[in-house]
């Protein structure tokens, strides 16, 4: 490797590390109440300007990595794609349905003597108490098995963009 390639690889690493740091910082700041956030975040141009800076840093880092070594750039692109794919799989409705079917089965096995509709209603109320008794009773009555109940729960969560607190 030539000295220029080493400097380019180091610059690429620094740019991408700075991107990662800024993303983590912004995630931490977003969790704060508005009055506890830094004053710079109150301006209307902060978010678009921050996204532009992050995009420029990321592209500069990838360009420097590609200039230094095609293998390094390919590895970073592949790892980013794998990370995005893993995140999409983790949030996929099919995976959430399968997890709910397992949890519903465990809930029902823990309560063998109870009426099946009451068991399913209790599960829905435990998972989403904000949905109320009427809606959970309707869901429990309409869904004869764990798979259909899980399908409906995921559908309602996706429409409302609500995830239960685990």
Task: Please tell me the pTM assigned to this model.
Answer: 0.56
Nearest to 75 by CA among 65, 67, 64, 85: 65
Element (H, E) at 8: helix 3-30
* CA atoms 16, 17, 18, 22: torsion sign: positive
- 28 vs 2 pLDDT, higher one: 28
| Rg over CA atoms, the chain | 24
Cβ proximity of 122 and 107 under 8 Å: yes
Confidence band (pLDDT; 50, 70, 90) for 31?
confident
Instruction: Average the pLDDT over 110-133 and give the result.
Output: 92
- pLDDT at residue 1 above 90? no
Query: How many angstroms separate the CA atoms of 10 and 12, rounded?
Result: 5
Confidence band (pLDDT; 50, 70, 90) for 18?
confident
Q: For residue range 73-106, list pLDDT tens digits in order.
A: 777 788 888 988 888 888 889 999 999 999 999 9
Residue in the block written with tokens 């794998």: 82
Q: What is the mean pLDDT of the chain?
A: 85
Residue in the block written with tokens 């800024």: 22
Give the start-to-end residue ranges of the domains of the chain: 3-86, 93-160
Q: What integer pLDDT is reported at residue 43 of this predicted model?
A: 81
Residues 6+ apart with CB under 8 A from 149: 100, 104, 120, 123, 124, 139, 140, 143
User: Largest alpha-carbon pair distance within the chain?
Assistant: 74
């Amino acid at each position: 490797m030539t000295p220029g390639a080493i400097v380019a690889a180091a610059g690429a690493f620094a740019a991408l590390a700075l991107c990662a740091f800024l993303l983590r910082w912004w995630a931490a700041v977003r969790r704060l109440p508005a009055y506890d956030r830094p004053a710079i975040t109150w301006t209307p141009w902060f978010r678009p300007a921050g996204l532009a800076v992050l995009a420029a840093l990321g592209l500069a880092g990838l360009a420097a990595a590609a200039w230094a070594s095609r293998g390094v750039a390919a590895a970073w692109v592949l790892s980013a794609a794998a990370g995005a794919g893993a995140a999409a799989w983790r949030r996929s409705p099919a995976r959430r349905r399968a997890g709910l079917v397992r949890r519903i089965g465990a809930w029902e096995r823990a309560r063998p003597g109870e009426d099946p509709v009451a068991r399913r209603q209790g599960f829905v109320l435990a998972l989403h108490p904000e949905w109320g008794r009427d809606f959970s009773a309707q869901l429990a009555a309409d869904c004869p098995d764990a798979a259909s109940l899980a399908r409906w729960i995921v559908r309602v969560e996706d429409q409302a963009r609500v995830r239960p607190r685990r």
